[in-house]
Amino acid sequence: MSAFILIKKILNTYYFLFILSYFFLPAFLFAFLKKIDAEFVKWPLKPLQHKIIVDVRTINYADIGNGSLPIDLSVYGSSGSWSAFFDFMKDTVLL
């Protein structure tokens, strides 16, 4: 198999997955929002999700708690999700 055919197959797969994610992304986001609601159903404070767009980059973040207190900045990588910080967001000592 030539390199050209291999690259073409990889690009076709990438485009297919990109188009597929475009249609299914709203369903995944809705499911994640339901997960957040279920996780914090008994808690008085709920995390709020925000998005900042700088040039072509998107930065997603969530905040919770009293805005007049010091900030805790928790950063996660591409292999994770901010849902890993749910327990921290429920910690009354941190809030």
Rounded CA-CA distance 55/84 in Å is 28
Rounded CA-CA distance 3/23 in Å is 31
Rounded CA-CA distance 88/86 in Å is 5
Burial class (CB in 10 A: 0-12, 13-18, 19+), 47: buried
For residue 90, the tally of other CB atoms under 10 A from its CB is 16
54: left (phi over 0), alpha (psi -120 to 50) or beta: beta
Per-residue pLDDT of the chain (95 residues; tens, 9 = 90+): 677 778 888 888 877 777 766 666 655 666 667 788 788 888 888 888 888 888 888 777 888 888 788 888 777 766 667 778 888 888 888 87
